[in-house]
Structure 1
Amino acid sequence: MSVSRRRTVGVEEEFLLVDEHGVPRPAAPRVTAGSHEGIEHELQQEQAETGSRPRRDLDELASDLELRRQGLSRLAAGHGVRVAGLATSPVMAEPTLYPEERYRRMVSDYRTTAAEVLTCGCHVHVGIESEAEGIRAINGIQPWLSVLLALSANSPFWHGTDTGYASYRRQVQDRWPSSGPTGPFRDPDEYHSLVDTLIETGVLLDLGMVYFDARLSARYPTVEIRVADVGAEPDSAVPLAALCRALVESAVDDGPWPAARPELLRGAAWRASRYGLAGQLMDPLTGQRVPAPVRVQQLVDRVRPALVRNGDLERVEHALEQVLRHGTGAERQRAVYARRGDLADVVLDAVERGHPEPYLVPNTSRTAGRISL
């Protein structure tokens, strides 16, 4: 498929701002001050967010993400802090609310849920031609989002404790009233009616608090997929973006895909959050437990035609081979802690991994095939 015909993808990544000891520090008002393109503050002052431009070519997306991380790191260094691609803080942290009226209202309404949350996600935006197309995509991709969560799991520690989860960020996010999977929508009107009801009844403060696993973006003509933990490496979001694009494209072109009950979707997300790729995942369409590598393979097989059309298959297979062989970010964090015995070292390891060698495109001359399981 020509570059001009590919759907656009954009990525937003949230990061912790930490000191030389790995402790989150409230530096965002200084770090994000001014007109830095693609760099914004978040709910807590210990966080900052970057956002890429919409890209059709994954090489361009990879370069964009790396440059934005470098830019944020330079700004952070100028104010005595570093940038860590961790979805939760391994060490003890007391979040400091960003001084903005909307955030004050969130704490007033949601109390401890808003006051103590300090999590960092990776959100992928996939371009759509219409809201009707977006609803078809949101409906179809729900059973597969838990696989993306498992692949991206990068938050086993929470304020000094090993939680036993691969993605504890997911557990924290699920405290919000709109977080999680959704049942099927008939059309955009039903989607917007539901959102309006949640806002009018005071369940949600505004459109920005629609934390569905996949939602229609209120700002862009995109479906926004919000299930992933942020990754430590600058290129970690690239294969994730390719899979999200392939899922949206496939669900729109091949639909309608079968739907699963929201209770089973939530159960599948829980298993992904608990075990990552180290245990069995759940297929919410069949209600069966499936070995994680097999479930990953099922995802690739489901969207293989779209990956081939977009020229993304080789890159995705290479990335998945690596994570299946070496483990997720959660496993890396636990391995670092097992070797060094200090959670501060887990944070600093993530800081170092955020500054690797320039992004390398895998060798695409080999014959495409199945993932080595």
Structure 2
Amino acid sequence: MSGSVRIGVEEEFHLVDPATGVLSPGSTGVLAGLPTGARFKPELMASAVETNSGVCGTLDGLRADVIASRRAVVEAADAIGLGVIGTGAAPLWSPEGIPVVHTERYEEMREDYRKLAEEQFICGLQVHIDCPDRDLGVRVMVRLQPWLPILLALSASSPYWQGRDTGYASYRTIAWRRWPTAGPVPCVRSAAEYDALVDALVASGVAHDDKMIYFDARPALAAPTLEIRICDSVPLVDDVVLLAGLARALVCRAVARETAEPGGVLPVPVELLEAARWRAARSGLTGVLLDPRTFRPVLAAEAVGLLLAEVRDDAERTGDAAELAELCAASLADGGSAARQRRAVARSEHSTRSVRAAVDLLRAETRATGRAGLGAGTGAMA
């Protein structure tokens, strides 16, 4: 299956005032400078925009697509004096200054969910992987669950919240979990079971509609794909490529196993899935994670190695194995985005500007086309 499986990504970005690093409600102005259509969209908060890639068959194609869409957003933001940062949670914000986008749906969400909606200053990366058989897709997403926290750890980019270090690598995960329909995937065995659960949640009034089903993975609403939703937004294009490549290989591996042994996987207790998810949010790549087979603590590098071993055969079939291993090694070497931000803050000369250093780093990384351009002053988006 892996050779023909296509992928795409949705990226969410925060908009900031370059002079202060604080969130800015400028999405209307940014979107006005972008082409209309499905590629660029508003989010709940007026301080965020979403990009949607095309459907890509290769990681090289995805990289080029992501660079092009990021460049367009950065240029549109530059034109109205704003900065763009790819991170799971905005480091600096004031809730009084950021309204929800004025649509009927978003206004209803603000009224019903109050503080949850009013503090939705978080952004995620979603990866879509071809999976036209919904029954198979539902069973596959259950198989994937123990591995998803390692993807979260690789993406963790949100250590700061309202100007303070939270102690977490992905505080977005903690803020996101407050929503009543967020978290691990329920153990369902068919598309009919999944759809019945979604219908029940909507009928309960806890979720307004099926768009508010925020599980870590789900069958996509408008495409024949499986959607992996656990990741933070990330500043580096390299990490978008890495996470998409790993997600595709994981899905292909799970499809092969489910096809060989339909329904053969035993459900993992939700408490262990929650524990692995929390551990990844807390540690990122600089502490321990939970082994997806035993749920015992292992060093992050060991957990990432287990993931690479799990997907190696499928990654080799697509020609991605060497690139994924190289990108994982680079992330482990620098500790991931949360660690890079903390180092930038530690180097900051003035305590009053400390968290600004994290925002400045995120802006530079979000503009860059790859790691190599960051140190050398080349490779950045014009």
Shared fold (TM-score greater than 0.5)?
A: yes
User: Which residue of structure 2 lines up, in the alignment, with residue 325 of structure 1?
Assistant: 333
Gaps of at least 5 residues in structure 2 are 259-263, 373-382
User: Which residue of structure 2 lines up, in the alignment, with residue 138 of structure 1?
Assistant: 141
CA distance in 2, matches of 1:13, 1:357: 15
Gaps of at least 5 residues in structure 1 are 361-373
Return 74-83 or 187-196, whichever deviates more: 74-83
Whether 2:57 is the aligned partner of 1:56: answer yes
C-alpha contact (below 8 Å) 2:185/2:218 kept by paired residues: no
Q: How many Å apart are 1:38 and its aligned residue? A: 1.1
User: Which residue of structure 2 lines up, in the alignment, with residue 45 of structure 1?
Assistant: 46
Q: How does 1:86-97 map to 2 (within 5 A)?
A: 86-94=87-95, 95-97=98-100
Amino acid in the other structure paired with 2:11: E
Whether 2:274 is the aligned partner of 1:280: answer no
CA distance in 1, matches of 2:38, 2:110: 28
CA distance in 2, matches of 1:337, 1:305: 40
Amino acid in the other structure paired with 1:195: V
User: Which residue of structure 1 lines up, in the alignment, with residue 4 of structure 2?
Assistant: 6
C-alpha contact (below 8 Å) 1:69/1:234 kept by paired residues: no
Return 348-357 or 6-15, whichever deviates more: 348-357
Structure 1 residues 28-67: Cα deviation after superposition (integer angstroms, max 9, x where no partner): 0121136165111101011011110111111010000000
User: Which residue of structure 2 lines up, in the alignment, with residue 346 of structure 1?
Assistant: 358
CA distance in 2, matches of 1:272, 1:41: 29
Amino acid in the other structure paired with 1:131: R
Amino acid in the other structure paired with 2:14: L
Q: How does 1:292-331 map to 2 (within 5 A)?
A: 292-331=300-339
Whether 2:179 is the aligned partner of 1:171: answer no
Q: How many Å apart are 1:137 and its aligned residue? A: 1.5
Structure 1 pair 258/324, CA: closer, same or farther in 2 (3 Å)? farther
Q: How many Å apart are 1:118 and its aligned residue? A: 0.6
Whether 2:80 is the aligned partner of 1:82: answer no
Amino acid in the other structure paired with 1:110: Y
Q: How many Å apart are 1:304 and its aligned residue? A: 1.1
Structure 1 residues 155-192: Cα deviation after superposition (integer angstroms, max 9, x where no partner): 00001110000000000000011111023211110000
User: Which residue of structure 2 lines up, in the alignment, with residue 368 of structure 1?
Assistant: none
Amino acid in the other structure paired with 2:324: V
- Cα root mean square deviation, aligned: 1.6
C-alpha contact (below 8 Å) 2:236/2:370 kept by paired residues: no
C-alpha contact (below 8 Å) 1:281/1:292 kept by paired residues: yes
CA distance in 2, matches of 1:110, 1:37: 27
User: Which residue of structure 1 lines up, in the alignment, with residue 343 of structure 2?
Assistant: 335
C-alpha contact (below 8 Å) 1:125/1:224 kept by paired residues: yes
CA distance in 2, matches of 1:215, 1:149: 16
Amino acid in the other structure paired with 1:128: C
- Percent identity over the alignment? 39
Structure 1 residues 195-220: Cα deviation after superposition (integer angstroms, max 9, x where no partner): 00000110101111010000011111
Structure 1 pair 218/357, CA: closer, same or farther in 2 (3 Å)? closer
CA distance in 2, matches of 1:206, 1:67: 32
User: Which residue of structure 2 lines up, in the alignment, with residue 251 of structure 1?
Assistant: 254
Structure 1 pair 358/294, CA: closer, same or farther in 2 (3 Å)? closer
CA distance in 1, matches of 2:267, 2:311: 16
User: Which residue of structure 2 lines up, in the alignment, with residue 180 of structure 1?
Assistant: 183
Structure 1 residues 297-336: Cα deviation after superposition (integer angstroms, max 9, x where no partner): 1111111111111111011000001011111100011000
User: Which residue of structure 1 lines up, in the alignment, with residue 379 of structure 2?
Assistant: none
C-alpha contact (below 8 Å) 2:21/2:359 kept by paired residues: yes
CA distance in 1, matches of 2:252, 2:266: 15
C-alpha contact (below 8 Å) 1:260/1:284 kept by paired residues: no
Whether 2:14 is the aligned partner of 1:16: answer yes
Structure 1 pair 61/284, CA: closer, same or farther in 2 (3 Å)? closer
SS in 2 for 1:184: coil
CA distance in 2, matches of 1:302, 1:84: 32
Report the TM-score, using the length of structure 1 for normalisation. Answer: 0.92
Q: How many Å apart are 1:357 and its aligned residue? A: 4.6
Residues matched between the structures, number: 358
SS in 2 for 1:235: helix
Q: How many Å apart are 1:258 and its aligned residue? A: 4.2
Q: How many Å apart are 1:79 and its aligned residue? A: 1.5
C-alpha contact (below 8 Å) 1:251/1:257 kept by paired residues: no
CA distance in 1, matches of 2:334, 2:76: 32
Q: How many Å apart are 1:268 and its aligned residue? A: 0.3
User: Which residue of structure 1 lines up, in the alignment, with residue 107 of structure 2?
Assistant: 104
User: Which residue of structure 2 lines up, in the alignment, with residue 356 of structure 1?
Assistant: 368
C-alpha contact (below 8 Å) 2:90/2:121 kept by paired residues: yes
Structure 1 pair 65/245, CA: closer, same or farther in 2 (3 Å)? same
User: Which residue of structure 1 lines up, in the alignment, with residue 271 of structure 2?
Assistant: 263
C-alpha contact (below 8 Å) 2:88/2:232 kept by paired residues: yes
